[in-house]
Structure 1
Amino acid sequence: MTDPRFQQAGVAATTYPCGGCGARLEFAPGTTALQCPYCGFRQEITAGDRQIREIPFGELANLARKPVGSIGKYVFACQRCSARTETNETASLCQFCGAPLVIDPAASGQLVPEGVLPFAIDHAAVSTHLKKWTSSRRFAPNALKKVTTAETTKSTYLPHWTYDSQTESAYTGQRGEYYYVTETYYDNGQRKTRRVRRTRWYPARGRVARAFDDVLVPASTQLPIEQIDKLAPWPLPEAAPYQQQYLAGHFALRYDVEPEAGFEEAKRRMAPVIENDCEHDIGGDTQRVHSVDTRHHNVSFKLMLLPVWVASYVYQGRNWQILVNGRTGEVHGERPWSKVKIAIAVVVALIVIAAIVYFVATGGHHSR
C-alpha cells in the first residue's frame, strides 16, 4: 500500500476565505493568525493534534518511493477563478486573481513537513533591515545606500532536513609536545643565541562519542547554499507542527535534495566537530589526526520549513539577490563593490606604509 505522503501530485489546493469580506486570508508574520489584507479580519490558527516527530532513518527503506527524476511541476486549481497553474513551489499565488493557494500535502508527491518556523517579521520590517544592511556595506557605491526597498520581495519557506545521530569514532593520530632549545646564529658577523621551540611527536589513538541534534541541511538547491547557511542560527525550538495555514499567502519551495543525500551532507557537517573532539582527546600541545572512522547509530530525520524573505534589487542593470532570516532579520546577500573607493583605500594604505618605513629608516627624526 502506498504511503499517502508519497502520492502523486494532484490539483486540489486550499484557500482560506475571509469571514468579513470574502477575500482570501493570509498568514500574518509575527502572529498565530490568518489575516485579511483588505478588511483586517483575523482568524486564529487552532492547534491541531499533530506533533513534530523525528522519523527513524531506517524507515526510508520501507516507504514506497517515487521514481528518481519523475518529479513533475505542481498543479494548482484556483478555487476562486478556476485557473490552473504550474509551479515548482509548494505554496503560491494565483497569477490571475492573486488568491493565495496551498497545495494539499497528501497530494504533493513528497514528504509532508514535520514542522514549520513561522515568519516573525513582515514586509515593512524587511525594508528596515535592508536599509541597515545597505548603509553598513563598506566599499559599496554610494548609490547602494539609496536602496531601501527591494524591487521584488517574496516571503518564502525554504525546506531543510534536520538529522539526529549518535556517533562513535575511532581515530589515529599524533600528540605533539613542545620543548625548547638554544640555537646559535650570526647577525652582521655577531654571534647571538635565541630560544627555539620544537615539537616531539608521539603516536595516539582512541575513541570519542558525540550525540548530534538537529544538524541542518538545506533541502533545496534553488538558492545559494552558502548564503542560506549564513542565515543561521535558527530558533528551531520555536517551530510549530506543520499546518497549511502557515503557508497561506506565502511561497514555499519544494525540496530537490532527497533525505539520503541530505544525510551525506550532514555527515560532512559533523566531521569537523568530530575531528575537534579527537584533537581534544589526544591532548598535548598540538595534535595531528590521521584517520577517523565514524559509525552512526539511532539516526533520525525530519523535514522543516524555515522562513526567508528573498529580495532582489537592480543596480547598474543587474539583479542582486538578498536573503533575510524571517525570524531574526539577519541579512546576507550579493552586493556591488566601488572600484573607486577600493582604489582610494589602497592608495591611502600605501601612503601610510611608506610613511612608517620612512619614519623607521630615519630613526624617527631629522638631523639639523
Structure 2
Amino acid sequence: MTDPRFQQAGVAATTYPCGGCGARLEFAPGTTALQCPYCGFRQEITAGDRQIREIPFGELANLARKPVGSIGKYVFACQRCAARTETNETASLCQFCGAPLVIDPAASGQLVPEGVLPFLLDRSAVSTHLKKWTSSRRFAPNALKNVTTAESTKSTYLPHWTYDSQTRSFYTGQRGEYYYVTETHYVNGERRTRQVRRTRWYPARGQVQRAFDDVLVPASTQLPTAEIDKLAPWPLLEAAPYQQQFLAGHFALRYDVEPEAGFEEAKRRMAVVIHDDCEHDIGGDTQRVHSVDTQHANVSFKLMLLPVWVATYVYQGKNWQILVNGRTGEVHGERPWSKVKIAIAVLVALIVVAAIVYLVVANGHSGSSSTHHH
C-alpha cells in the first residue's frame, strides 16, 4: 500500500476527444497526427513554439523538482469515465475504459522532458520485426513465437538523460615499441632459429581533448540498462520538442535516476572513449595508460523520451522481455533455451560424427586389405 505521505493528489489526465465519434484520439506512429482507433478521424499535432534546450548543469539546483524517492503513485482522474487510476507512469491507459491518460508534466513533480522521439513503427511493423527475430533464434522454445501477438507488446517511452561536456584529460603511461631478437633452439638434435618479439617501454605523458555531445544514459531502472543500451544508436536529430500529444495512447515511464547520478554514469561512459584517445595519443606499437585526470567544462543536460516496444511473455513460470527500438526496429532481449531442441541437435551431431568415423575406419580397412592382396 502506498505511504499516504507520498500519495499524489488526483491529477487530471489530458485526453483528446475525437471530432468524429467522441472517443479519444491516440498518437499514430509514423505520423505527426492523433488518430481515432474507432472511426479513423485524424488531427494534426501543431508544432508549438518550444525548442529542445540544452540546460546548463549549473542551473540544476534552481529547477523545480521533487526528489525521486518522495514521489508516490500518480492518481489519474479519467476525463472520459471519471475512474481513478493509480500508476507510476506519466502516460498510461485508463484501466476501466482504456482511454489514453497523459499527465500534465508541470504536475508530475519531475523535470519536464525537453524532447521526444515519436514512435515510427506501429504494432504491425513491430510484429514483423519480432517474428523475424524469434524465427532466427535457434534452440529457442516454440513458445517464443507467441511474443508476436498484439497483447504482449506495449509501446513505451523510456526516459533518458543526455549530456554534453567539453573534456580535457591529462594522462601518464608508457609507449611500447616492438623489436625482434633471434633465438636458437634444437629439435631432435637439429639446430633451428626463430624471431621472437620483445617490447621496449618508454615513459609517456600528455593531454587529450574531446567535445562530447548527447551521451545517453537511461533514466529508468524499470528495464535492464544493458538491454536498453543495445537498442542504440538513436536518431536523436529527428526528435521533436516535447508535447503531450505524442504520448496519447502509449505508456511513458517517469525517471527514477536523478540527473546528478546520470552524469556520474555519463562520465564513466566518456572515460572509455577518453582512454582510447590517450592510447592513440601515446602512439607506438602498444600502450599502457597508468592514470587519467579529466576536467569537465560547459556541461549541459536534457531529458528525452525514446520509443521502445516492450514485449513480455511467460515461459516456465518466468517473465521474459524483448525490447524493440520504436524508430529503427532493432531487437534485443532475453530468450530461453529449449533443452529438447539442444538435446536433439547434440544427438544429430553425434550421429554425424559417428558416421564420419565409421566411413574413415571402413575406408582404412578396405585400403589395407587391398594392399595386402597385392
Q: TM-score, normalised by structure 2?
A: 0.89
Aligned equivalents of 1:367, 1:67: Cα separation in 2? 92
Would you say the 8 A contact 2:102–2:244 is kept in 1? yes
Aligned equivalents of 1:5, 1:70: Cα separation in 2? 9
Report deviation, 1:363.
14
Would you say the 8 A contact 2:147–2:312 is kept in 1? no
Gaps of 5+ in 1: none
Secondary structure of the 1:11 match is strand
Aligned equivalents of 2:312, 2:358: Cα separation in 1? 48
**1:254–1:145: structure 2 CA closer, same or farther, 3 Å change rule?**
closer
Would you say the 8 A contact 2:170–2:293 is kept in 1? yes
Aligned equivalents of 2:364, 2:199: Cα separation in 1? 40
Secondary structure of the 2:320 match is strand
Would you say the 8 A contact 2:176–2:201 is kept in 1? yes
Aligned equivalents of 2:2, 2:137: Cα separation in 1? 52
Secondary structure of the 2:364 match is coil
**1:171–1:153: structure 2 CA closer, same or farther, 3 Å change rule?**
same
Would you say the 8 A contact 1:151–1:312 is kept in 2? no
Number of the residue aligned with 2:368 = none
Would you say the 8 A contact 1:322–1:331 is kept in 2? yes
Would you say the 8 A contact 1:7–1:107 is kept in 2? no
Deviations 1:225-277 (A, max 9, x none): 11101111100000000000000011000000000000000001111100000
Report deviation, 1:357.
11
Identify which range, 188-197 or 121-130, moves more after superposition: 188-197
Identify which range, 178-187 or 276-285, moves more after superposition: 178-187
Deviations 1:43-101 (A, max 9, x none): 00000000000000000123354246211111211111211211000001111111111
Would you say the 8 A contact 2:323–2:332 is kept in 1? yes
Deviations 1:91-146 (A, max 9, x none): 01111111111111111100000000000011111111111011111222345346
Would you say the 8 A contact 2:153–2:310 is kept in 1? yes
**1:195–1:26: structure 2 CA closer, same or farther, 3 Å change rule?**
same
Identify which range, 220-229 or 186-195, moves more after superposition: 186-195
Report deviation, 1:319.
2.9
**1:2–1:59: structure 2 CA closer, same or farther, 3 Å change rule?**
farther
Secondary structure of the 1:363 match is helix
Aligned equivalents of 1:91, 1:217: Cα separation in 2? 21
Aligned equivalents of 1:243, 1:6: Cα separation in 2? 27
Identify which range, 332-341 or 343-352, moves more after superposition: 343-352
Would you say the 8 A contact 2:65–2:109 is kept in 1? no
**1:336–1:2: structure 2 CA closer, same or farther, 3 Å change rule?**
closer
Deviations 1:170-194 (A, max 9, x none): 0000000000001112333433211
Would you say the 8 A contact 2:165–2:296 is kept in 1? yes
Between the two proteins, the alignment pairs up a number of residues equal to 368
Would you say the 8 A contact 1:8–1:107 is kept in 2? no
Aligned equivalents of 1:357, 1:176: Cα separation in 2? 49
Secondary structure of the 1:343 match is helix
Would you say the 8 A contact 1:5–1:111 is kept in 2? no
Would you say the 8 A contact 2:166–2:212 is kept in 1? yes
Higher helix proportion (structure 1 or 2): 2
RMSD: 4.2
**1:9–1:244: structure 2 CA closer, same or farther, 3 Å change rule?**
farther
Aligned equivalents of 1:367, 1:165: Cα separation in 2? 84
Identify which range, 143-152 or 310-319, moves more after superposition: 143-152
Secondary structure of the 1:300 match is strand
Report deviation, 1:342.
3.4
Aligned equivalents of 1:215, 1:91: Cα separation in 2? 25
Aligned equivalents of 1:186, 1:362: Cα separation in 2? 40
Would you say the 8 A contact 2:11–2:76 is kept in 1? yes
Aligned equivalents of 1:69, 1:346: Cα separation in 2? 51
Deviations 1:203-228 (A, max 9, x none): 00000000000000000000011110
Secondary structure of the 1:362 match is helix
**1:95–1:367: structure 2 CA closer, same or farther, 3 Å change rule?**
farther
Aligned equivalents of 1:102, 1:182: Cα separation in 2? 74
**Alignment partner of 1:65 is 2:65:** yes
Aligned equivalents of 2:109, 2:76: Cα separation in 1? 14
Would you say the 8 A contact 2:6–2:72 is kept in 1? no
Report deviation, 1:149.
2.1
**1:3–1:285: structure 2 CA closer, same or farther, 3 Å change rule?**
farther
Secondary structure of the 2:68 match is coil
Secondary structure of the 2:11 match is coil
Would you say the 8 A contact 2:68–2:257 is kept in 1? no
Would you say the 8 A contact 2:147–2:311 is kept in 1? no
**1:68–1:121: structure 2 CA closer, same or farther, 3 Å change rule?**
closer
Q: TM-score, normalised by structure 1?
A: 0.91
Gaps of 5+ in 2: 366-371
